[in-house]
Structure 1
Amino acid sequence: MPNEFIMAKVSAELIAAFRKTIFKLKNNAPYQWGHMGACNCGNLAQQITQLSKAEIHQYAMEKHGDWNDQLIDYCPTSGYPMDLMISKMLEAGLTIDELKHLEKLSDPKVLSHIPTEKRLLIKKNNKEDVILYLETWTLVLENEWLKQFDQKLMEIEEKNISSKVFA
């Protein structure tokens, strides 16, 4: 994949959070696009932060705006619980831009892997579309994860070639 598909930090923990979010959404987890703890970002935030939808929503209400507004106003040193929660998500490997795109299901790197006929019909507040978007993003993450391991394996093999070791 081209470099624009590389996330800030791909990890097994981040991939697991995506998979758990998808599983929960497929198995009737509360979904409500207008609820800060049960929307697109809110459902993923539950897995990464281990906070409940109610806690996330409560923290979000201490500041103004939706996820996008709060991501724009994000300040890691503010002390606001919402900013601390966003910091946790960034530490997990996500970027501010990726989170903004998640709320709107609009990241070009994810959308480019969804067939055009489905991509054109995606709605930011449709649970099935959120699941499709997260499943696609998970595949992108997994491919990047595998690519990193392949590269490390090649580096190890390169170091262990006897003609180079004994040269």
Structure 2
Amino acid sequence: MKTELYASHSELIQMKEIIIPKENAVFWLDGNGAWHNVHGRFRNRKIIGHFHASIEKDEGGYYVTQINCDRREKVYFRYEDTALFVTDLKEGEPPTLILNTKKEMALRPDALVVRDDSLYLYDGDDRIKFSERVLFRIADMIEFEDEQYFIRIGGRRYEIGSQAAPPESPGEKKGT
């Protein structure tokens, strides 16, 4: 357990950090970006939004965090495919992607990959999966010709890479 200092209301308070390894987490993220626990899929939109917005990453993997009284709880969690999803899109040149974490980023055609019939964007070592909802919104931008996918942005046509499934990373564990 670590102890850290946090500023709150112009005063410093001692915060104990409690770390829960993913093996002990009671929730997980499925391959479509939905949170689950032993009782099933999360239904409360506020809780779902809080979990998504709380996703962070460090050398230990993806985790959610919250401040609870005098402690900071950091829970590493399991996920089936990836912890990051494109959940919305703002029109523009290029379009702006909105992630489940509420982070926004430009759609970069050179970072797109099709794998197992899903569209992903790589941002450094982060793999970000496009939700079905966003795929429907960009369907008119996607073309398929001679076994190859392309995307049209700003009047230009870009080839979308393809990738065989890489070996499972330490964070990628089935949620069940």
> TM-score per shorter chain, which class?
under 0.3
Task: With the length of structure 1 as denominator, give the TM-score of the two structures.
Answer: 0.24
Greater length-normalized contact order (CA 8 Å, ≥ 6 residues apart): 1
Task: With the length of structure 2 as denominator, give the TM-score of the two structures.
Answer: 0.23
**Larger strand percent:** 2
